[in-house]
Structure formats: C-alpha cells, structure tokens
Amino acid sequence: MKTTFQALDQFLYAHRAFWQLVPFEHQCLPWEHAYPALCKWLKSISNEELFRIDGERALLYTYLSPFFPDLPTVLQLIENIPQQSNEAPEVPEHFKQHIKGRKWQQIAQLAATLGESEAYLDWCGGKGHLGRLLSWYYENPVTVIERNADLCEQGKGFASKYDLPMRYVCADVLNSCQSHEFTQKHHAVALHACGDLHIRFMQSAALANTDKISLSPCCYHLTVMEKYQPLSIEGRFSKLVLRKHDLKLPLQETMTSGQRIQRLRHQEIEWRLGFDVLQREITGNTQYLPVPSIPKSMLSDTFEAFCLWAAEQKSIQIPEQINFAQYLEQGKQRRQVSARIDLVRHAFRQVLEYWLILDRAMYLTDQGYEAQITQFCAPEVTPRNILIRAQKG
C-alpha cells in the first residue's frame, strides 16, 4: 500500500496545476501559454464530444494520456482492485419496499460481501435498511447508530415487523463519543458515511479493538477542517495541501446521473456564471462570487428571476433595464470554458480518490489491522463502490 500511495502522491503533486484549481474562477483556459497543445485540443472538441468523453472513464483516459504520459502507469496501480463476486441475497419483495432500485443493489451486494459475523454495528444507518438485511440474512444481532430520531423509530417498526434482533441508538456521533457501543465481537459497517462521520467511525472502532471493520467512504469534503489532515503515518509525509474544494473532485462523477439531472446541473452552472459576470460589472469585484444553494424548483423559473434572487442573497442592487439575455449568453460561454477545465481535472479524479482511500486503509494498518481494498459492486451501481475491509491482526 505504501509504495502505491507514494506513487500516487508524487503524481498528484507533480500535476497539481491541472486539478487543484476552481474552474468557476477562470474566464479562459489557465494553461494557454505553458501547455498550448492541450488547450488547442480542448478548444477543438465540440460540447457533445466533451460530455461524451467526460461520461466514460476509459475514453477520458484515452484522450488525455497523450498530454500526461505518466497517467497510464499510475492508472495501472488502481485499476486492478478486486471485485467481490458474492451473489446478493434473495429476499421477499415486500422486504425492500421504499428503497430505490440502485440503493437496494448497493445494500444487497454489500451485505453479501460482508459475510456472516457474530454481531454487526451499522454506523449512521438511517432506518437500518442494511442492518435489517444483515440481521435477516445471517440471523444475528445488529446495532444501528443514527442521529435522526424519526428514522430510528421507523427502523424499529420495520425490525419489529420482521421480528429481528435489532437495537437502535439515537446519537449525534460527531458531538458525543459512542466508542462504548463498539465491542470486540462486532463487525462494524459504514456504507457511504460522509467525511468526518466515517473518520469518527474508524477512530471509534479502532479504539474499541473491534474485530472487523468495513467502510465505504463518501463525501470527503464534509469536514470541519479547512485543510485535509492525513490520517495515516505515511500520509503525513505528503506535500499535498488539500482544501475542501479539492476533496469534492472524486465525487464529480456522472455515471449514475440521468439526463434530466445533468441538464439541470448544466443550466444551474450557466446561470451562476452569468450572474457572476453581471455582479462583476455592477460591483467591480474581480473574483468569482459564490451564491448559496438554490431550490431545484427555481430552475424551472427564468434566469432573470434567479439573478434577482442571487442579488438579494448578496445584497447587490441590480439597475433597471438590464439585458439579462446578454449575461445568460456570457454564462453559457463561460460554462464551456469551465467544462473544459473540469474535463482535465477529471482525469485526476480517480487517482485522488484512491489516494484518500489508501490513507484510510493505512490508518487502520497503523492501528494493528490487516486491511484490504475491494469493490463491493460495479461502478455503474455507484461510483462510490470501494470497500475498505480490515480485520484485527
């Protein structure tokens, strides 16, 4: 693991000018003078071709490898992650009611991958869908830890309905220590726990000498820390300085996004960038101005309505008789620039995610565990398909 981590670390650090930037802040390609061949190619491709390349990992790497000759070598280090072939358990149809198809596939395939244990702990388990399947399939007790009291009550109802040995603990794990809930006999599981939540999970499990740990991390940027604090001993030697925006990069994958979601996302980017052009002219500000999250229903309104809302959020007075169509057109042009910057950044997306995963696996190794990295499902089911498995050595 250390050798692979060091290779990824050197690659990411050497190429940080290509991925460690905020596309919205740039009004033109930032590599025009230093890398003219790359910029010439980016300008030559159509929007349709760009989104086609961006939507398929293999295609993305094929097109960008000529500009980054060491990319194929690095990818070989992370592309042979073993995938578990366990068959998902068959359950009665009513058992998976209220669970969307792709989410159910993730839960079922992870449950099959985990195998039987004496007892399980389902971290940030919501209603306990995963824990309920583990308890039903392996006929062993499960403890579910969840902050939302309403979800706990609903989960208790499901468990009672199927007469399953499940216990729910309602707790805010970031503000109260729950290490005592972990025992040595537990197989502690966290499916897509976000940021600080899965870090607290690993720390609590290791502190309790929990026998088995299985973790599928997600949303690395959801942390109170402004800069990423490496977890492993090896990670602390890295020269990389990762901020929250950098930690969002691994999540910029559209494999499971429908066309409508992608279309709305593109529209929102155009509107934000169009408003940014407008606010720069009004205020004289030369920096990109972030706007708060908007309700998706607003995207069915007009660009003008969005600008008026955004201006109110930022206490900006928009003059009368503004040609909003002009700024929307500029927003569309800037999105084309932003999309091309992102296309290059996305070539480093998988490498950065594996760097973060290795940091977590090595942390568990530092705590006396034998750790391995596998895929619990295909990336078409979820791009967050990596599972860190650790057993006390």
Name the pLDDT band for 201 (thresholds 50, 70, 90): very high
Kindly state the average pLDDT of the residues 176-183. Answer: 82
Contact indicator for 338, 46 with CB cutoff of 8 Å: no
Name the pLDDT band for 254 (thresholds 50, 70, 90): low
Amino acid at 34: A
pLDDT of 219 > 80? The answer is yes
Q: What are phi and psi of 193, to 5 degrees?
A: -75, 135
User: Which pLDDT belongs to residue 55?
Assistant: 87
Mean pLDDT, all residues of the chain: 92
User: Which pLDDT belongs to residue 266?
Assistant: 87
Angle between helices 2-14 and 349-366 (to 10 degrees): 140
User: Which pLDDT belongs to residue 252?
Assistant: 82
Per-residue exposure over 94-114, b if at least 16 CB sit within 10 Å of its own CB, e if not: ebbeebeeebbbbbbbbbbbb
pLDDT of 178 > 80? The answer is no
Beta pairing partners, 120: 142, 187
Per-residue exposure over 237-249, b if at least 16 CB sit within 10 Å of its own CB, e if not: ebebebeeebbeb
Kindly state the average pLDDT of the residues 251-275. Answer: 80
Give Cβ neighbours of residue 111 (< 8 Å, ≥ 6 apart): 88, 89, 130, 133, 134, 137
State how far the Cα of 186 lies from the Cα of 141, in Å rounded to an integer: 10
Residue-wise pLDDT tens digits, 82-122: 887 677 777 777 777 778 878 888 999 999 899 899 999 99
Q: Quick one: what percent of the chain has pLDDT higher than 70?
A: 98
User: Which pLDDT belongs to residue 85?
Assistant: 66
Q: Which domains does the chain have, with CATH numbers?
A: 93-237+353-392 (3.40.50.150)
Kindly state the average pLDDT of the residues 56-61. Answer: 93
Kindly state the average pLDDT of the residues 44-67. Answer: 94
Query: 336 vs 56, 214, 272, 299, 300, CA distance in Å?
Result: 19, 40, 13, 19, 22
Name the pLDDT band for 63 (thresholds 50, 70, 90): very high
pLDDT of 356 > 70? The answer is yes
356, burial (CB in 10 Å: exposed 0-12, middle 13-18, buried 19+): buried
Kindly state the average pLDDT of the residues 14-37. Answer: 93
- Alpha helices in 15-100, H assignment, sequence order: 16-19, 36-44, 47-54, 57-64, 71-78
Kindly state the average pLDDT of the residues 309-338. Answer: 93
pLDDT of 256 > 60? The answer is no
Name the pLDDT band for 258 (thresholds 50, 70, 90): low
State how far the Cα of 386 lies from the Cα of 393, in Å rounded to an integer: 22
The encoded tokens of residue 95 equal 């058992």
pLDDT of 255 > 60? The answer is no
